[in-house]
Amino acid sequence: MMNALREDLTQMNMVVRQLAVDTDLYTLPSTTIRTPDLEPQPVKIKARNVNVFYGEKQAIHDVSIDIPEKAVTAFIGPSGCGKSTFLRCFNRMNDTIEGSRVDGLIELDGRSIIDRSLDVVELRARVGMVFQKPNPFPKSIYENIAYGPRIHGLVRSKADLDEIVERSLRKAGLFDEVKDRLHDTATGLSGGQQQRLCIARAIAVSPEVILMDEPCSALDPIATARVEELIDELRENYTIIIVTHSMQQAARVSQRTAMFHLGNLVEEGPTEKIFTSPEVKRTQDYITGRFG
Amino acid sequence: MNSMLVTLVLLLLLGFAYQTGWSRSSRLAQVEGRLHSKPIYHGALVAIWAIVPALLILGLWALFGTATANTRFRTLTSAVVLASAFGTGAIGLYLARNRISARFRARNEVERIIRYLLIGCSVVAILTTLGIVLSLLGEALRFFTFVSPVDFFFGTVWNPRFSSVGTGSGDFGLLPLLWGTVMIATIAILVALPIGLMTAVYLTQYAKPKTRNIIKPMIEVLAGIPTIVYGFFALVTVGPALAGLGAMFGLDIRATSALTAGIVMGVMIIPFISSLSDDVIRQVPRALRDGSLGLGATESETIRRVILPAALPGIVGAVLLAVSRAIGETMIVVLAAGNSPYLRLNPGEPVSTVTVTIVNQLTGDTDFSSPQSLVAFALGLTLFAMTLVLNIAALFIVRRYREQYE
Ligand SMILES: Nc1ncnc2c1ncn2[C@@H]1O[C@H](COP(=O)(O)OP(=O)(O)OP(=O)(O)O)[C@@H](O)[C@H]1O
Ligand SMILES: [Mg+2]
């Protein structure tokens, strides 16, 4: 009975979605993802048969995955398996790499983002990114946060900007630490503070998705714990994808986990399931540290 | 004595000494087993011991010998010197050869000598600089016994009056020359900075590697053109063209003027600015660029707001180096600036510069004790001080900038 209802709902969803596409309303989710302990999540990003090439070399093979909205998805896998490469597809940062090529289907809220004609400026405002090494600009803390809102013309007045800066820093849990030195240079902050500043910088343009590529790999355990806490809080409002080499981190912060190997998606599902009863042996071997 | 022959003998001595050390230590190795140092080190050490004293004696003779040698005894003295040189060489050879033993640390000694050699080479450059400064300083001080430093550094009239050489009269005001130099350098930078910087931005941020590999060497060709050729170009092509252009707009631009020289000099220093800026822009970490692009900034916003500000100190350093190059440049201004040492504001008029004036004061038959020619050394010293300060400032800035990203 329930199942039949679900079927119907899905059907309806698809019809509505088609309608939405036709009428240029892209806000409706294409489908939902069920994860234990969570409400079924609408799909934020949908990837189908994605291939990425660097010149002749293929780095991602035919990967399909759904990323749920307002949840944390972790990408794990041994070094060089293509996690960063795949992550960069979602905000088209691969465009900045000479000789790279992406094909397949990737949709954000049901709208293709692979399309050449898509405006990457707008896309990157919606899909922010935090890098492996903290990379604050050599400007003041304030200017770092104000950078994004300024280039996107999100503010009219200085007061607006002040407010955005404060709000972003608060969300990143950094405000109290830096409120007295907003105009000091950001490179003077500690590594952990710098990384939270980079998160605040990404938040300042009000993205919907935040991509994080090993955001804690340059941080000590305490700074890492703070960032993890922050990620957990941000989940309420943002869709987060995090690449990590730490199994504990993936287990702690994510709701869903995707395991990559040699450019292929090995397995993907609720984090708990991946960590307790993976279906593929290779996943288990990797998680328990037997390879990778 | 035929210097070819001397060289030949020296080479023979070198080869013989090396061979001696090598074969003796090789033989020793057969008897005693493994030596501390390989035979080549023993050979090299014996060769050094043989050749260095001989070279020293010959070198000293070349430097001071000719001055003291009495013509009557010339052949005799040179024979004595040569004999003592080769004699010392032979003694050195003999002594070094006798030191060879299984435990003798020839390798360490050779390494040490090589280090001294390298230090010696770098000292040569430093000593040369020092020598230049001292000789400039000496002559300049002589000049200041004729003309007071105040009149020189703050005088507004330049009129050395060649006809009255020897009487010490004439006006030696530096300011008109300095003004010409500064004006031309400024025009040059105004031309070279935007073009050079934008070229660097294009090459580092936009150009595909292939394009870059073609364009970069082509720009660097500009740096290899002899400055006299730029001078011709200014005199024959740019000057008349500018004058014609000025006439079209009712401006009076002379064919040889600060403008002509400045523009051509600007072209000359474009490669300086572009390749130095290219280096500093390249040093800005890619992570900063990605961070900006990742926030949705466009390529040009990223360059303007992140990359150039981050590279700014390095670019300033590059500009300072280019300025010091422009200030010291001579050939272009000799030909194209018009040689007219007056304080004039209009860049369309001819000017003169410090370098041109040095050339003027030292060419022709002047005797080197009159202020008319001695002033060249005071001018040279001024120029040297200016470029030195600029270079040091530039190096300092560039180094600070490097540290920022280590
Ligand atoms: N700019 C590039 N040009 C060419 N090949 C690249 C480039 N970046 C990555 N690759 C290749 O693509 C493959 C996937 O790289 P990627 O950086 O995505 O791996 P990763 O899973 O993020 O590894 P890590 O965990 O070490 O960060 C690797 O084989 C790598 O050599
Ligand atoms: Mg990676």
Q: Which A positions 153-212 lie with beta carbon below 8 A of chain B?
A: 198, 201-202, 205
Residues with CB under 5 A from ligand 2 (ion): A 84
The answer to the question of residue B114 being in a domain is yes
Cα angle: B352, vertex B353, B359; to 5 degrees:
95
Cβ contact, residue pair B292, A147, below 8 Å: yes
| CB of A83 sitting under 6 A from ligand 1 | yes
pTM of the model: 0.73
The answer to the question of residue B315 being in a domain is yes
pLDDT at B8 over 60: yes
The answer to the question of residue B151 being in a domain is no
| CB of A206 sitting under 6 A from ligand 1 | no
pLDDT at B247 over 50: yes
The answer to the question of residue B239 being in a domain is yes
Question: Are B104 and B18 in a shared domain?
Answer: yes
In residues, how long is chain B? 406
Q: Which residue has the higher pLDDT, B255 or A13?
A: B255
- Joined tokens for residue A183: 């105009």
The answer to the question of residue B338 being in a domain is yes
Of B110, B126, B142, at which residue does a domain stop?
Answer: B126
| CB of A93 sitting under 6 A from ligand 1 | no
% of chain A surpassing 70 pLDDT: 86
The answer to the question of residue B145 being in a domain is no
Cβ contact, residue pair A137, B287, below 8 Å: no
Contact at 8 Å (CB) between A63 and A265?
yes
Q: What residues pair up with A58 in beta bridges, in sequence order? A: A53
The answer to the question of residue B230 being in a domain is yes
- What integer pLDDT is reported at residue B362 of this predicted model? 86
Would you list the domain boundaries of chain A?
2-287
Nearest bound ligand to the CA of residue A85: 1
CATH number at residue B389: 1.10.3720.10
* Per-residue pLDDT band at B165 (split at 50, 70, 90): low
Q: Which of B158, B204, B216, B182 is nearest to B315 (CA)?
A: B204
| CB of A59 sitting under 6 A from ligand 1 | yes
Task: Read off the pLDDT of each residue in B148-164 and give the average, rounded to a whole number.
Answer: 81
- A145-201: per-residue pLDDT in tens? 999 999 999 888 999 999 999 999 998 889 999 999 999 999 889 988 999 999 999
Which residues of B99-166 form beta strands (DSSP E)? 158-159
Q: Give the chain A residue nearest B207 (alpha carbons).
A: A98
- A97-135: per-residue pLDDT in tens? 888 999 999 999 988 998 878 889 999 999 999 999 999
Q: Looking at ligand 1, which residue's alpha carbon is closest to its atom 17?
A: A84
pLDDT at A4 over 90: no
Task: Write the Ramachandran bin of A229: left for phi over 0, alpha for psi from -120 to 50, otherwise beta.
Answer: alpha
| 3-state SS track over chain A | CHHHHHHHHHHHHHHHHHHHHHCCCCCCCCCEECCCCCCCEEEEEEEEEEEEEECCEEEEEEEEEEEECCCEEEEECCCCCCHHHHHHHCCCHHHHCCCEEEEEEEEECCEECCCCCCCHHHHHHHEEEECCCCCCCCCEHHHHHHHHHHHCCCCCCHHHHHHHHHHHHHHCCCHHHHHHHCCCEHHHCCHHHHHHHHHHHHHCCCCCEEEEECCCCCCCHHHHHHHHHHHHHHCCCCEEEEECCCHHHHHHHCCEEEEEECCEEEEEEEHHHHHHCCCCHHHHHHHCCCCC
Of B96, B126, B156, at which residue does a domain stop?
Answer: B126
Q: What residues pair up with A269 in beta bridges, in sequence order? A: A257
- B111-142: per-residue pLDDT in tens? 999 999 999 999 999 999 899 999 999 989 99
Question: Are B212 and B69 in a shared domain?
Answer: no
Q: Which residue has the higher pLDDT, A143 or A3?
A: A143
Domain A2-287, second-level architecture: 3-Layer(aba) Sandwich (3.40)
- B201-218: per-residue pLDDT in tens? 999 988 988 999 999 889
pLDDT at B80 over 60: yes
Range of the domain at B34: 3-126
- Say how far apart CA A120 and CA A127 lie, in whole Å: 10
- Answer yes or no: is the ipTM higher than 0.95: no
Cβ contact, residue pair B310, A137, below 8 Å: yes
- What integer pLDDT is reported at residue A29 of this predicted model? 42
Taking all residues of chain B, what is their mean pLDDT, rounded to a whole number? 88
pLDDT at A272 over 60: yes
Burial classification of residue A78, based on how many CB atoms lie within 10 Å of its CB (0-12 exposed, 13-18 middle, 19 or more buried): middle
- B32-46: per-residue pLDDT in tens? 888 888 888 999 999
Nearest bound ligand to the CA of residue A58: 1
The three-state secondary structure class of B351 is: strand
- What integer pLDDT is reported at residue B59 of this predicted model? 86
Lowest mean pLDDT among A68-77, A137-146, A226-235, B157-166: B157-166
Task: Read off the pLDDT of each residue in B131-154 and give the average, rounded to a whole number.
Answer: 90
Question: Are B272 and B175 in a shared domain?
Answer: yes
- What integer pLDDT is reported at residue A237 of this predicted model? 92
% of chain B surpassing 90 pLDDT: 44
Q: How far is B303 from chain A (nearest CA, A)?
A: 12
- Say how far apart CA B2 and CA B272 lie, in whole Å: 46
- A194-223: per-residue pLDDT in tens? 999 999 999 999 999 999 999 998 888 888
* Per-residue pLDDT band at B192 (split at 50, 70, 90): very high
Question: Are B113 and B175 in a shared domain?
Answer: no
- What integer pLDDT is reported at residue B102 of this predicted model? 82
pLDDT at A292 over 80: no
- What integer pLDDT is reported at residue B405 of this predicted model? 62
Question: Are B110 and B178 in a shared domain?
Answer: no
pLDDT at A3 over 70: no
* Per-residue pLDDT band at B402 (split at 50, 70, 90): low
Question: Are B47 and B194 in a shared domain?
Answer: no
Question: Considering its fold, how many domains does chain B have in total?
Answer: 2
